[in-house]
Chain A
Amino acid sequence: MSHHNGDTRPPMLQIANLHVAIGDVEILKGVDLAVRLGEVHAIMGPNGSGKSTLVNVLAGRPGYTVTQGEVLYEGMDLLRMLPEERARAGVFLAFQYPVELPGVRNWQFIKTAVDSIRRHKGLKELSVREFDRLLQDKVRTMEFDPELIKRAVNEGFSGGEKKRNETIQLLMLDPKLALLDETDSGLDIDALRTVASAVNTRRSSSNATILVTHYQRILNYVTPDHVHILIDGRLVMFGGPALALEVEAKGYDWLRQAAETTG
């Protein structure tokens, strides 16, 4: 179900017939998707449709079994890479539920992450001053409480603060492929606008974004190039930004029925 819109460049990410199971339960049942540089893709679907599974498998989360299919990322076999190798190659997952890291300070964690990726690229580690200047800039952009940068990662943060913290990491690591797993859920309107504006600011011809969401709310602020509907482990429909509005108006049931008749 990949689509080209006349673009002849090879996709940076090519997912072909991806089947994924958790234990004996098949979650993804043959997903095909092509993402090109410069694109923002929104993947929408009801709860349990497999949206989170898709981006988590791409990031290398343990606990999933790929039973069929393949994923090529910039010509590499993504599924054979360790999570840290994927990160260093430019894949970033913003977590739906960011974990707390007791005793690991946020500042130190982000610095370590940035340095790990820079080392991989053959670049020098940033000096404390250089790093701090960049970080403070993102902290301001994200309207993030500067005190939280000194605290343990996500420890005692509100839901919104955790999502802003994910977005700060997104901006600092500046990945080629950003996977946003329901980054919009649980955000108030101000936070949503801030996160959306970060995604928009990042948008360029040298990167791409897959944005997983249940609601089209965030799509009022981020206009995707493509919208895909994922139901019961299959991408059943794709379209432009208008599709998201249609889903918002009509719910998922009509698509589910359409999936059954075509499936």
Chain B
Amino acid sequence: MPQALAQHKSYQADFERLERGLRFGDAPWLQALRRQAMDSFDQLGFPTALRGNEKWKYTRVAPIAEAAFEHPFDGQPDRVQASDIQGIAPWDKGWTNLVFVDGRYSAALSTPNGAGSSMQAISLAAALATEEALVQQHLARYADFKDDAFIALNTAFLEDGALVWVPPGETLPTPLHILFITTEHQKPVVTYPRVLLVAGSNSRLILIESYISLSSNGYFTNSVVEMLAEEGAQIEHYRFARESPRAYHVGMTRAYLAKDSVLKTTSLTVGCAILRNDLMVLLDAPGASTEVRGLHLTNGVDHVDNHIDIDHAKPYTKSNQYFKGVLDGKSRAVFSGRVLIRQNAVKAQAHQKDYNIILSEGAEIDTKPALEIYCDDVMATHGATAGHVAEELLFYMRSRGLDRELARALLVRGFASEIIDGVGVDSLRSYLDRQLSQALPTHQPERSL
């Protein structure tokens, strides 16, 4: 793999340049953290889909490993105007918005008011100046870079990102939106979005994380979101990705849930060249529970891989996974949902469902729900389906005068909208609804004579 090796060296060179020219974050602990992460990446290398590597069995990352990505050292977040993203990005003036352009915080686009709250939602770069102790306490604690090359790479290049800290007992009055935009570049770039969320005990918040592109070129988004839900905290999280069709996107989400805390997370993914939505939730105390939902829409030669890993480490923990996919063209999707119920996790409840509609002959889904249960006293179910639109349903609709294509479009729309309908933020739901209309096969009714 001489080419992959060459590219690997380019990350090294970028890393050294980053170390030399740091604009902030000179704290020795942070430098040491980056260095450790880079060492991890050196040792691990990009994962391969070789036998025995179940995590990457269905997704070949060689195209990422072998591509040359430039580090946008000269990023200019100010060159994106609000009008550039209007109608493209999810947006609501009522939200607290933190915007990052090519990985860097854009003060001009952000609206970090945090109205009526002592919450902190600021760029990591700023947080390192004002909240260094907090950042040092939590950063890279929940997203472990020692056994994951993508997290290692993200951590090694950690420069900017978002810090969100919600004080104990506080309920955020408005959703918090963190938007990552990749702009047009002459050569493919790599960005390293990073979010650190610390939800204090009994706090409540809605976090929207979105990725959009102003380019139709190839690039690489390597993001890491780490979350801590302290006792009784409730996090409602949405993850939206609509990257360039030629983009690579590896999104690592790592959540640590304390006693009686709740994480409800929903992802909506519009396919691209390679997209990995990789979530790991550690249910580390009784009463911790998570609900993971997802919808992915793929077309062309998209490849989308949802990899969900839930660790029931303690008794009385709950998890519920529900994924839906609509596949068209020659696209490929993967769902691998692993649930681990450890020996002492009595009364744990775990459910997994993955339902897919395949619209074309060339599309393919690999669905692999997996339960690993080491405890007798638990309740666990799983199921997966993949199929075409049922003829029986089409006939019912056609017998009412709808032509076949319209009937199919309505059914697919209905199938997908179940996940969208569950979105608890009105303006986000209507945005996602529009995205759905754009991404799904459309139907022009025949005109009358």
Q: Which residues of A contact B (CB under 8 A)?
A: 59-62, 82-84, 86-88, 92-93, 95, 98-99, 101-105, 108-110, 112-113, 115-123, 152, 169, 173
* 20 residue pairs from A and B, CB less than 8 Å apart: A60-B399, A62-B391, A84-B399, A84-B403, A84-B404, A87-B401, A88-B401, A95-B396, A99-B396, A102-B414, A102-B418, A103-B413, A103-B421, A104-B411, A104-B413, A110-B400, A113-B397, A116-B401, A116-B445, A152-B414
Q: A131 CA to B400 CA in the complex, in Å?
A: 16
Contact, CB under 8 Å: B400 / A122: no
Q: Mark contacts of B358-398 with chain A using CB atoms, 8 A cut-off: 1 yes-contact digit, 0 otherwise.
A: 00000000000000000000000000000000011101111
Q: Mark contacts of B415-449 with chain A using CB atoms, 8 A cut-off: 1 yes-contact digit, 0 otherwise.
A: 11110010000000000000000000000011111
* Inter-chain contact total with CB atoms closer than 8 Å: 93
Contact, CB under 8 Å: B398 / A82: yes
Q: A60 CA to B398 CA in the complex, in Å?
A: 9
Contact A83 to B399, CB < 8 A, known contacts A103-B415, A103-B416: yes
Contact, CB under 8 Å: B398 / A102: no
Q: Which of B402, B411, B416 contacts A84 (CB 8 A)?
A: B402
Q: A218 CA to B81 CA in the complex, in Å?
A: 69
Contact, CB under 8 Å: B446 / A112: no
Contact, CB under 8 Å: A116 / B402: yes
Contact, CB under 8 Å: B402 / A119: no
Q: Which of A59, A92, A101, A115 contacts B393 (CB 8 A)?
A: A101
- Residues of A within 8 Å of B395, CB to CB, are 60-62, 83
**What is the minimal beta-carbon distance from B383 to any residue of chain A, in angstroms?**
15
**What is the minimal beta-carbon distance from A256 to any residue of chain B, in angstroms?**
32
**What is the minimal beta-carbon distance from B388 to any residue of chain A, in angstroms?**
14
Give the one of A99, A110, A122, A173 with max B CB within 10 A.
A99
**What is the minimal beta-carbon distance from B400 to any residue of chain A, in angstroms?**
4
- Residues of A within 8 Å of B418, CB to CB, are 102-103
Contact, CB under 8 Å: B410 / A87: no
Q: A98 CA to B403 CA in the complex, in Å?
A: 18
Contact, CB under 8 Å: A87 / B447: no
**What is the minimal beta-carbon distance from A224 to any residue of chain B, in angstroms?**
23
B30 interfacial by beta-carbon distance below 8 Å = no
- Residues of B within 8 Å of A101, CB to CB, are 393, 396-397, 410-411, 414
B406 interfacial by beta-carbon distance below 8 Å = yes
Contact, CB under 8 Å: A112 / B406: yes
Instruction: Sort A-B residue pairs by CB-CB distance and give the 3 closest, nearest first.
Output: A103-B414, A113-B400, A87-B401
- Residues of A within 8 Å of B399, CB to CB, are 59-61, 83-84, 86-87, 92-93, 95
- Residues of B within 8 Å of A62, CB to CB, are 391, 395
Contact, CB under 8 Å: B401 / A109: no
**What is the minimal beta-carbon distance from B421 to any residue of chain A, in angstroms?**
8
Contact A173 to B414, CB < 8 A, known contacts A119-B445, A119-B446: no
The interface size bin for chain B is 20 to 34
Q: A226 CA to B427 CA in the complex, in Å?
A: 58
**What is the minimal beta-carbon distance from A12 to any residue of chain B, in angstroms?**
18
Q: A61 CA to B418 CA in the complex, in Å?
A: 28
Q: A88 CA to B445 CA in the complex, in Å?
A: 14
- Residues of A within 8 Å of B446, CB to CB, are 119
Q: A102 CA to B404 CA in the complex, in Å?
A: 17
- Residues of B within 8 Å of A113, CB to CB, are 397, 400-402
Contact, CB under 8 Å: B396 / A173: no
- Residues of B within 8 Å of A115, CB to CB, are 445
Q: A173 CA to B398 CA in the complex, in Å?
A: 13
Contact, CB under 8 Å: A169 / B396: no
**What is the minimal beta-carbon distance from A154 to any residue of chain B, in angstroms?**
9
Q: A101 CA to B445 CA in the complex, in Å?
A: 20
**What is the minimal beta-carbon distance from A146 to any residue of chain B, in angstroms?**
20
Q: Which of A103, A117, A152 contacts B401 (CB 8 A)?
A: A117
- Residues of B within 8 Å of A82, CB to CB, are 398, 403-404
Q: A92 CA to B401 CA in the complex, in Å?
A: 9
- Residues of B within 8 Å of A169, CB to CB, are 400
Q: Which of B396, B404, B410 contacts A112 (CB 8 A)?
A: B410
Contact, CB under 8 Å: A87 / B400: yes
Q: A169 CA to B399 CA in the complex, in Å?
A: 11
**What is the minimal beta-carbon distance from A228 to any residue of chain B, in angstroms?**
23
**What is the minimal beta-carbon distance from B412 to any residue of chain A, in angstroms?**
9
- Residues of B within 8 Å of A104, CB to CB, are 410-411, 413-414
Closest residue of chain B to A61 (Cβ to Cβ) is: B395
Name 10 extra pairs, CB < 8 A, besides A104-B410, A119-B445: A99-B392, A102-B411, A110-B400, A112-B402, A116-B400, A116-B402, A116-B445, A119-B446, A123-B448, A173-B401
Q: A82 CA to B400 CA in the complex, in Å?
A: 12
**What is the minimal beta-carbon distance from A74 to any residue of chain B, in angstroms?**
16
- Residues of A within 8 Å of B401, CB to CB, are 84, 87-88, 113, 116-117, 120, 173
Q: A60 CA to B411 CA in the complex, in Å?
A: 20
Contact, CB under 8 Å: A83 / B392: no
Contact A84 to B398, CB < 8 A, known contacts A99-B393, A104-B410, A112-B406: yes
Q: A112 CA to B414 CA in the complex, in Å?
A: 14
Contact, CB under 8 Å: B410 / A109: yes
**What is the minimal beta-carbon distance from B413 to any residue of chain A, in angstroms?**
7
- Residues of B within 8 Å of A105, CB to CB, are 414
Q: Mark contacts of B218-255 with chain A using CB atoms, 8 A cut-off: 1 yes-contact digit, 0 otherwise.
A: 00000000000000000000000000000000000000
Closest residue of chain A to B418 (Cβ to Cβ) is: A103
**What is the minimal beta-carbon distance from B401 to any residue of chain A, in angstroms?**
4
Q: Which of B391, B406, B448 contacts A120 (CB 8 A)?
A: B448
Interface positions of B from 263 to 282, Cβ below 8 Å from A:
none
Q: A92 CA to B396 CA in the complex, in Å?
A: 11
Q: A173 CA to B401 CA in the complex, in Å?
A: 9
- Residues of A within 8 Å of B445, CB to CB, are 115-116, 119
